Chain A
Amino acid sequence: MEDVSRLEAFQAKIDREEKIEPKDWMPDAYRKHLVRQMSQHAHSEVVGMQPEGQWITRAPSLRAKVVLLAKVQDEAGHGLYLYSATESLGISRDELLEQLHTEKAKYSSIFNYATLNWADMGAVGWLVDGAAIVNQVSLQRTSFGPYSRGMVRICKEESFHQRQGYEIVADMALGSPEQKQMAQDALNRMWWPSLMMFGPHDADSPNTGNATKWKIKRETNDELRQKFIDKTIQQATVIGLTVPDPDLNWNKETGHYDFGEIDWSELKEVINGRGPCNKQRLKHHRAAHEEGAWVREAANAYAQKQSDKKKVA
């Protein structure tokens, strides 16, 4: 009985647009949904450091190098912030990393694609951060307080990344013939995977259910995807690049772009661990974590010795 009234009070609070805080009572399923979604988000930020990080040493100018370094560092900061927000739900970072390493937790499939030329550093910022922003702007209104506040903070940096990315693509698209070719190639490879970032069609989306009622999710996958397409097509056209979709068409009646069918079988393969870089990304993360074990142990041992000394003194 008590649970029923608590549940009603919880829902009423959400309906009043008040935020749920870590110390508030919440249904187990709400907590579980958030841990899954927020940790997936955190892992995405961190695994997402790899496809861009591997280009830092090859950045073609010192300015481009510090911009990229700072960008990847921002993503690490986002990961850190999201891990702590997730920890407020009663799970430790070690447990979260364990879930990542045992493939119980996922991260955004987009990071399982390879970055093959310098224009990809533009395309990732423009399209991947661009898609992430659409999603995260929507999440600023999510019902869980720490997640919502995190998104407000993170979104500011993501829009910066998006602009910097677009600048790289634009400069290359308007540059030498080789540069233009690289820019188009990057768009060709990144376009469809970016659209997949929003997840399956609403009709096929298994995780939406209560997430909408609980106002964790405020807009549907298809709504968000459409927003992204509408704002991105013009940006591509302005710099003379072609979006690789022959079915793309401005629809006067809806006021949106119509677009071709996404290859859902590809997304399914990548989600299930069979994308181009899944093994590589996980291996990289695990290796760094395992290689760092002795360092973490040393830091703990040292801290322990120091606190023992204090006790004696």
Chain B
Amino acid sequence: MDINEALIKYCLRLGDDAMILGHRLSELCSKGPYLEEDIAMTNISLDLFGQTRMMYTTAGEIEGKGRTEDDFAYKRLEPEFQNVLLVEQPNGNFGNTMARQMVFSVFYYYLFKELQSSSNEKLAAFAAKSLKETTYHMRHSCEWIVRLGDGTEESHWKVQDALNEIWSYRHELFEKDEVDETLISAGLIPDTATFKSAFEASVQEVLDRATIEEVEEGWKSTGGRIGHHSEYMGHILPIFQSIPRTYPNSKW
């Protein structure tokens, strides 16, 4: 695979992950358990949309066909999005939201840590900026998993359920295909296998502090990176893209 082609795809994948999770969190605006937490979740959503925009813009620049961030966000069809299924999972209760966030943020924390030394300047700068944000998202969600796990009996079982539901959605984050192999061998992106055990150990440490004994393994998620999504995706994009699709002759 041509390096530029792989780079475009890679940027779009990172952008898609951030966009769909940013969307999920934006659904929670005005629904937080209290005002401070409402603001915190909006903050994470804002950071993720910032990352989305950088990645889509970069993809457009490499591609050189004049496609903008909004072309990627609003004019692609569901199979063209290549985000992991993890980010499509519904917000559920606050425990579900935080468990999903933890898995996502811990993974991206390790990815960005490595990616910031990429020989591609754009990717390196993007990773360095995003690492700061992601470090905060990771701490925030991990602290909540601990508080909920070691809080009341009710919160303990709620977060246990949430973890059982979401934990096996981590697998997809570590998948590799031609896009990844091309960029890994060109030295542009890290091999996720190198930090898989660090990722698992970090989560385990949080689970220990949260007094969670064991998390169930479920279906090993797969499909997002080739555009095979969960049923939830079909309820996200129609809303996300509704205005430009309804008024195709208007500029926004």
Contacts and interface: CB of A to CB of B under 8 A. Distances in A.
Interface string B148-183: 101110110010000000000000000000000000
Nearest to B29: A53
Closest 8 A-B residue pairs measured CB to CB?
A292-B33, A298-B151, A298-B155, A60-B252, A60-B243, A295-B33, A176-B250, A49-B30
Nearest to B159: A298
A50 B29 CA distance: 8
A302 B150 contact: yes
Interface stretch (A22-30, A68-76, A208-216): A68-76
Contact of B35 (A76, A179, A294, A301): A76
Interface stretch (A77-85, A134-142, A144-152, A158-166): A77-85
16 contacts: A46-B30, A50-B30, A66-B46, A76-B38, A79-B35, A83-B35, A179-B250, A288-B30, A291-B93, A294-B152, A294-B158, A295-B34, A295-B148, A297-B152, A297-B154, A299-B151
Interface in B36-67: 36-39, 42-43, 45-46, 49-50, 52-53, 56
Q: Is the interface of A mostly helix, strand, loop or mixed?
A: helix
Interface of B: 23, 26-27, 29-39, 42-43, 45-46, 49-50, 52-53, 56, 69-70, 73-74, 93-94, 146-148, 150-152, 154-155, 158, 239-240, 242-244, 247, 249-252
Given A57-B26, A293-B33, A298-B155, 12 more contacts: A61-B252, A62-B49, A62-B56, A64-B252, A69-B46, A73-B46, A76-B35, A175-B250, A178-B250, A288-B33, A295-B33, A297-B152
A135 to B, nearest CB: 22
A287 to B, nearest CB: 8
A283 interface: no
Given A53-B30, A291-B93, A302-B146, A58 B240 contact: yes
A284 interface: yes
Interface in A267-310: 284-285, 288-289, 291-302, 305
From B42, B56, B247, residue with most partner A Cβ within 10 Å: B42
Contacts of B23: 57
Q: Is the interface of B mostly helix, strand, loop or mixed?
A: helix
B71 to A, nearest CB: 11
Given A50-B30, A73-B42, A298-B154, A57 B239 contact: yes
B32 A46 contact: no
Nearest to A46: B35
Interface of A: 46, 49-50, 53, 56-66, 69-70, 72-73, 76-77, 79-80, 83, 118, 175-176, 178-179, 284-285, 288-289, 291-302, 305
Contacts of B74: 60-61
Contact of A56 (B26, B43, B150, B247): B26
Nearest to B98: A295
From A69, A175, A289, A293, residue with most partner B Cβ within 10 Å: A69
A214 B159 CA distance: 52
Contacts of A60: 74, 243-244, 252
